A and B are shown apart, each in its own frame.
Chain A
């Protein structure tokens, strides 16, 4: 069974721009979660989607948003990029979400200059 895929793998953006990241979960998984990983803060939970609905949200500003499509694929959008948004963005999928045995994709490395 194919794993979680994320595209693109690397991105370089300029401050003020916006970016959209994509995640395709493992086949049959309906829950998709997004995380930001930085050396200083570790893995931080952004939000979780289940059946096209945002079910949980972490403590990130409204510039971070997401959505999920009927095939469970998910996108994450960051508007008005800031230098501090440079990070590895990880997507994880699970069957139903709770309990959360999540499987991670390879991540998208975002660099904001």
Chain B
């Protein structure tokens, strides 16, 4: 089992819809969770960080964390074509090892 798992996609949503991206992790001791966005040919860009169970909202983005179920998700409301990118989930595991999932490719269709 990989430390961090994501559906590779591709995920396609129409413009204006909600995009839902999911990530599961294997280490119950994980404490820090992050979502990064990576455009083709560019480096990853930090979107959200979340450390406590529940929801955290930042503009059109909402991160959700459920430590009991070991998953973290990212919701993008009112999706725009500019949101088309690969979204990477990252988790700090016990011992401060930092792992990325392989990413979910999102396409927002105008």
Contact = CB atoms under 8 A, between A and B. Distances in A.
B101 A42 contact: yes
Contacts of B34: 100-102
A104 B96 CA distance: 18
A63 interface: no
A27 to B, nearest CB: 17
Contacts of B46: 101-103
Nearest to A90: B43
Contacts of A42: 88, 100-103
B98 A48 contact: yes
Interface of A: 33, 35, 42-45, 48, 55-56, 58, 90, 97-107
A57 to B, nearest CB: 9
Contact of B96 (A35, A98, A102, A107): A98
A99 B97 contact: no
Contacts of A101: 34, 46, 49
B99 interface: yes
B104 to A, nearest CB: 11
Contacts of A105: 43
Contact of B92 (A43, A98, A107): A98
Given A43-B88, A99-B92, A104 B43 contact: yes
12 contacts: A45-B100, A55-B96, A56-B96, A56-B98, A98-B96, A99-B32, A99-B51, A99-B92, A101-B49, A102-B34, A103-B46, A104-B45
